[in-house]
Amino acid sequence: MSDTTQRPAGALPAGAAPGGPASRLRLPGLSALGPLLALILLVALGAYLNDNFLSAGNITNVLARSAFIGMIAVGMTFVITSGGLDLSVGSMAAFIAGVMILAMNALLPSMGVGVPLILAGMAIALGAGFLAGLGNGLLVTKARIEPFIVTLGTMGIFRSLVTWLADGGTISLDFGVRQLYRPVFYSGLFGISWPIIVFAIVAVAGQIAMRHTRFGRYCEAIGSNDKVALYSAVNVERIRLMTYVLLGLLVGLATIMYVPRLGSASGSTGMLWELEAIAAVIIGGTALKGGYGRVWGTVIGVLILSLIDNILILADLVSPYLNGTIQGVIIVLAVVLQRGKSSSA
């Protein structure tokens, strides 16, 4: 993904949004509104098809479900914006969940069931996420291997490690610990469940980091043209490494919210999360080749993906065999909508 040679030199100044004439920088153009439009249409469709669609229960379900992929996708936005890619996040989530549960079960006799044990588990998840992200990042920046290959490799490694840890079965959290930890997924503040709150904080922080910090600008500069960024005294390797570490930490955070839901991890945990996260990022308007990132778009992309699933089940529109087709069509349409507009603009 580090396309240093293909791009004609000097095609874009570092840090500028590609295809962004000055007139389009003030208002989000129609192309930027494409995913938002698709989301609104989906919500209207859902409300029309089923009365329970807009019920608090269903909205909570959909948002809480989106939270895991959502947090990961926000991190993925930075990786992709800076010209990278991470295919390992789904397997990484499964691996971190496995390590976290095993560690908590192992610490149980010495620490007893209590808040410190849960906090220790959370620290381990974040630590594991940090190390996993650091590993990916170092392989990309220091060993200079293509991110696609690095993360394809670590994807297989994490997946097989969790299967091995689980002895092919399922790793389950001790029942007593589970009861104490359960509210982290199932309860919340003012009727809004914790995963939704955490996801919202991550999304807002991500949006600020992308738009209003040097880190965000550097990510876009590197993704746009890493040579120019390097000559402009940007520490390209360090920023790239940071995007992978950030993503690893967010995968750890997602796992912290995920484990209390079912209290278990297995070889099939987090299956295809990487593709959902990448799809959400692209639907949201971030360029897959890097150079331009849009965090709020990613959030909308995640919501679109969860809503399609939800509506298909609530509505009984088509044979369940065709669910994948409908999802595929909507994903492609959402992207066509914005790309079509942006190329004509």
Partner 1 sequence: MERRTFLTTAAIGAATAAAGVSVPAMAQGKKAVIGVSIPSATHGFMGGLNWHAQETIKRLKATYPNLEFVLATAGAVGKQVNDIEDMVATRNIDALVVLPFESEPLTSPVKAVKDAGKWVTVVDRGLSQPGIEDLYVAGDNIAFGRVSGEYFKANLKPGAKIVVLRGIPTTLDNERVDAFKAAIEGSGIEILDMQHGNWNRDKAFSVMQDYLSKHKKIDAVWAADDDMAIGVMEAISQAGRQKEMWIVGGAGMKEIIKRVMDKDPQIPVDVSYTPAQISTAIEVTALKFVSNTPVYGRFIIGSTLITAENAAQFYFPDSPF
Given the rule CB under 8 A, which residues bind partner 1?
50, 52-53, 55, 57-58, 61, 65, 160, 163, 166-170, 172, 186, 261-262, 264, 266-269, 271, 309-310, 313-314, 316, 320-321, 323
**Smallest gap from residue 65 Cβ to partner 1 (A):** 6
Tokens of 303: 């919501």
Q: Which is nearer to partner 1, 115 or 313 (CB)?
A: 313
DSSP helix/strand/coil, 172:
strand
Lookup result for tokens 């969940």: 97
d(CA 187, CA 185): 6
Q: Nearest to residue 345, comparing CAs of 32, 10, 35?
A: 32
Q: Which is nearer to partner 1, 193 or 342 (CB)?
A: 193
**Smallest gap from residue 99 Cβ to partner 1 (A):** 17
**Smallest gap from residue 123 Cβ to partner 1 (A):** 24
Beta bridge partners of 265: 171
CB 96 within 8 A of CB 251: yes
**Smallest gap from residue 100 Cβ to partner 1 (A):** 16
d(CA 312, CA 319): 9
Q: Which is nearer to partner 1, 48 or 231 (CB)?
A: 48
**Smallest gap from residue 50 Cβ to partner 1 (A):** 7
**Smallest gap from residue 168 Cβ to partner 1 (A):** 2
d(CA 114, CA 174): 12
Q: Is the dihedral of CA 313, 317, 319, 321 positive or negative?
A: negative
Q: Which is nearer to partner 1, 170 or 232 (CB)?
A: 170
SS (H, E, C) 252-266: HHHHHHHHHHHCEEE
Q: Which is nearer to partner 1, 78 or 185 (CB)?
A: 185
Q: Which is nearer to partner 1, 283 or 307 (CB)?
A: 307
CB 286 within 8 A of CB 297: yes
CB 288 within 8 A of CB 282: yes
d(CA 293, CA 76): 10
Q: Which is nearer to partner 1, 221 or 259 (CB)?
A: 259
**Smallest gap from residue 312 Cβ to partner 1 (A):** 8
